[in-house]
């Protein structure tokens, strides 16, 4: 890997492109404390996780508009109630015109309810599990969600975490372009090598800047390409 660019240089570039420090600060994402994340219910997190699965590769607005119907169809996403659905009931929901007709994503709601329930049994709650995970190994949390859940690979798991306020960077197209263009990574982003290299770089930038991973990720994206944040 090449020598990492100093975070201050990335910050200056973002400010030059976006109209100054205050403009950049106004575009930074919001993160929550571990205590705040720990207050989420399992149902709230299962709903958010399921919504992110449906939004992946689909028109987000359509998913958002239909989500109240999902809340009703899946008992407000209470994991135990979701797990009581029979195969026929799951199939009915997968073909319901009031919802989105997608068998695999509908089944993922049930599969991920199993994950939430199992992790909750281990840690007291799914929220506690997410809250306590250290940010200097956030890609380890990505891997765990992908391994234990369903359809949570790629950016789906990270976007879910960001939505719920967990501090994480995102591998958007612009962030990936920066990391490859500056030789921060020398492998494909689906590889564990690239994730380790990326995590190490973000950890160093965090030590330099004192900012969150989410803020660093956004600053990088604001300073390059098309600002796909």
**All domains of the chain, ordered by start, with CATH?**
7-31+169-222 (no CATH), 35-163 (1.10.340.30)
**Eight-class DSSP state of 218:** H
Assign 196 to helix, strand or coil: helix
Pair of tokens at residue 188: 């494909």
Pair of tokens at residue 143: 């891997």
Nearest C-alpha neighbor of 109 from the set 68, 75, 155: 75
Q: Write down the pLDDT at residue 185.
A: 95
One digit per residue, pLDDT tens: the chain, 229 residues?
A: 568 999 999 999 999 999 999 999 999 999 999 999 999 999 999 999 999 999 999 999 999 999 999 999 999 999 999 999 999 999 999 999 999 999 999 999 999 999 999 999 999 999 999 999 999 999 999 999 999 999 999 999 999 999 999 999 999 999 999 999 999 999 899 899 999 999 999 999 999 999 999 999 999 999 987 655 4
Assign 109 to helix, strand or coil: helix
């Amino acid at each position: 890997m090449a020598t990492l660019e100093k975070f201050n240089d990335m910050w200056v570039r973002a400010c030059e492109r976006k109209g100054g420090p205050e403009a950049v600060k106004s575009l930074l994402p919001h993160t929550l404390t571990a205590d705040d994340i720990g207050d989420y219910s399992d149902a709230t997190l299962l709903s958010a996780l399921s919504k992110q699965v449906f939004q992946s590769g689909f028109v987000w607005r359509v998913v958002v508009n239909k989500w109240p119907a999902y809340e009703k169809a899946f008992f407000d996403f209470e994991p135990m109630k979701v797990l009581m659905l029979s195969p026929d009931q799951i199939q009915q929901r997968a073909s319901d015109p009031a919802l989105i007709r997608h068998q695999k994503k509908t089944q993922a709601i049930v599969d991920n309810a199993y994950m939430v329930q199992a992790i909750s049994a281990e840690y007291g709650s799914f929220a506690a599990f997410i809250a306590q995970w250290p940010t200097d190994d956030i890609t380890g949390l990505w891997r765990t969600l992908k391994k234990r859940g369903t359809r949570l690979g790629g950016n789906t798991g990270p976007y879910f975490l960001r939505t719920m306020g967990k501090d994480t960077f995102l591998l958007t197209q612009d962030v990936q372009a920066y990391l490859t263009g500056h030789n921060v990574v020398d492998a494909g982003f689906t590889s564990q090598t690239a994730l380790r290299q990326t995590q190490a770089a973000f950890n160093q930038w965090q030590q330099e800047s004192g900012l969150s991973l989410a803020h660093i990720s956004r600053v990088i994206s604001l300073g390059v390409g098309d600002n796909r944040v």
